[in-house]
């Protein structure tokens, strides 16, 4: 973009635009380029000079931890991902004693393979399945680990000079939706992910809400039926125990409600297989999906009564079977909540894309980096230039 166009977009004076962009050029945050546009054959003067973000000014890393897998991606300052990798580990052996070394080694090897200076990595965003404690920088509980209270932030901060943050993975889906379509996904909205578990992300008054310790919006582990079906977390009656992949598998196999989810074989294709059976007319699977729809409806009703979101987004691998859940979900909503509390609700069904979590991590890291660079730019004017926090 040319300086004159920046002035029109920001309503700042030419002098102010020149002062700000000069600082940013000196810091190496932006670069000048010649416009790649056709010119008249007899035109005089140089091509129009444009300004662009310098992608090499800083790098950020996203780390997603799921069962048996660590997904890593790296983006430059312009926000474009240029390096990615998947690392596999044994979740049945991962605990607070072993996993921190597994994680730091994976990130260290990833940075080396990218061929960049480790000091250029200024942000590392980590998202994990399960319940996280952002104050301690630990994963309190997750199906991705054999143990509890897994340190994540501390070990990475010791190994790298970057700022490290930890989030729940569904929160990052919420962040990604807001980043990609802020007109539609702003204000107050919620994301419910139905997958290996049931997670939720909340955007309240234009901000991602994570609660006092980062564990807000764990709707999957709110009780749905007291003394009900066994949940993967070890308790009974959670909403997840009626919606997640293992819950549907348990219903379709006529297993008792107290059957331990750990004893059941679920795969990445479980929801797809159940959906195909439902489309083929399998009455048992269709019945299980109706029960799941009822549970989802009651969960949404509680959410509406407490928060009053303008929009709820349903996503995750389990949402592929939503057409078989939808009617039961709406019936449960009508039974659980008066019309006045649900009349303005909009429900979006968004096809699952694992890249949501990666994009959310990158978006959040870029926002933190931008806030840091505002401080850095102020330091430039006093002769104390630094990109570091």
Task: Tell me what pLDDT residue 268 has.
Answer: 83
Distance (Å, whole) CA 313 – CA 350: 7
Give pLDDT, residue 376: 52
Both tokens assigned to 328:
């039961």
Number of Cβ within a 10 Å radius of residue 115: 7
Is the pLDDT reported for residue 44 higher than 60?
no
CA distance 29 to 337: 52
Q: Which burial class, exposed, middle or buried, applies to 9 when counting CB atoms under 10 A from its CB (0-12, 13-18, 19+)?
A: exposed
Cα gap 200→113, rounded to integer Å: 34
Cα-based angle 155, 126, 262 (whole degrees, multiple of 5): 95
pLDDT at site 375:
52
What is this structure's pTM? 0.85
Instruction: With cut-offs at 50, 70 and 90, classify the pLDDT of residue 287.
Output: very high
Q: List Cβ neighbours of 168 (8 Å cut-off, separation of 6 or more).
A: 127, 128, 130, 131, 132, 199, 201, 210, 214, 215, 217, 218
Q: Which two tokens stand for residue 184?
A: 């539609």
Domains of the chain, start order:
3-53 (no CATH), 58-161+355-381 (3.30.420.40), 182-349 (3.30.420.40)
Token pair recorded at residue 118: 């480790």
Helices (H), the chain: 3-10, 14-27, 99-114, 153-159, 169-180, 245-252, 270-279, 283-307, 322-336, 355-381
The two structure tokens encoding residue 42: 């007899």
Query: HSE on the CB side for 98, CA within 13 Å?
Result: 10
Q: Is pLDDT at 130 greater than 60 in this prediction?
A: yes
pLDDT at 280 over 60: yes
- Whole-number pLDDT of residue 147: 93
Q: Is 63 left (phi over 0), alpha (psi -120 to 50) or beta?
A: beta
Q: To which H or E segment does residue 87 belong?
A: strand 81-88
Kindly report the average pLDDT of the chain as a whole number.
Answer: 91
- The pLDDT of residue 267 is 85
Q: How many Å from the N-terminal Cα to the C-terminal Cα in the chain?
A: 28
Angle between helices 322-336 and 283-307 (to 10 degrees): 40
Q: What is the pLDDT of residues 310-353, one digit of tens each?
A: 999 999 999 999 999 999 999 999 999 999 888 888 999 999 98
């Amino acid at each position: 973009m040319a300086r004159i166009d920046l002035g029109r977009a920001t309503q700042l004076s030419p002098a102010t635009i020149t002062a700000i962009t000069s600082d940013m050029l000196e810091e190496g945050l932006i670069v000048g380029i010649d416009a790649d546009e056709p010119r008249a054959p007899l035109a005089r003067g140089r091509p129009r000079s444009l300004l662009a973000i310098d992608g090499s000014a800083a790098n950020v890393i996203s780390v997603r931890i799921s069962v048996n897998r660590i997904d890593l991606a790296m983006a430059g300052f312009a926000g474009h991902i240029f390096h990615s990798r998947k690392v596999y580990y044994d979740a049945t052996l991962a605990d607070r004693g072993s996993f921190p070394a597994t994680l730091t080694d994976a990130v260290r090897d990833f940075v080396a393979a990218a061929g960049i200076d480790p000091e250029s990595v200024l942000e590392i965003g980590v998202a994990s399945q399960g319940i996280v404690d952002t104050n301690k920088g630990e994963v309190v509980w997750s199906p991705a680990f054999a143990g509890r209270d897994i340190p994540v932030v501390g070990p990475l901060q010791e190994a790298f000079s970057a700022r490290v943050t930890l989030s729940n993975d569904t929160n990052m889906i919420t962040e990604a939706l807001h980043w990609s379509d802020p007109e539609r996904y702003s204000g107050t909205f919620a994301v419910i992910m139905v997958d290996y578990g049931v997670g939720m992300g909340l955007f309240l008054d234009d901000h991602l809400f994570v609660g006092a310790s980062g564990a807000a919006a764990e709707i999957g582990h709110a009780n749905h039926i007291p003394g009900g079906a066994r949940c993967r977390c070890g308790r009974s009656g959670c909403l997840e125990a009626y919606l997640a992949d293992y819950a549907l598998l348990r219903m379709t196999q006529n297993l008792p409600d107290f059957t331990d989810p750990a004893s059941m074989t679920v795969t990445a294709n479980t929801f797809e297989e159940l959906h195909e059976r439902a489309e083929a007319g399998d009455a048992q699977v269709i019945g299980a999906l109706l029960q799941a729809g009822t549970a989802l409806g009651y969960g949404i009703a509680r959410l509406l009564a407490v928060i009053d979101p303008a929009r709820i987004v349903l996503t995750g691998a389990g949402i592929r079977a939503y057409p078989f859940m939808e009617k039961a979900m709406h019936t449960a909503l009508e039974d659980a909540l008066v019309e006045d509390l649900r009349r303005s609700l909009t429900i979006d069904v968004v096809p699952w894309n694992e890249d949501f979590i990666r994009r959310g991590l990158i978006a959040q890291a870029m926002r933190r980096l931008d806030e840091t660079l505002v401080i850095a730019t102020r330091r430039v004017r006093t002769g104390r230039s630094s990109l570091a926090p």
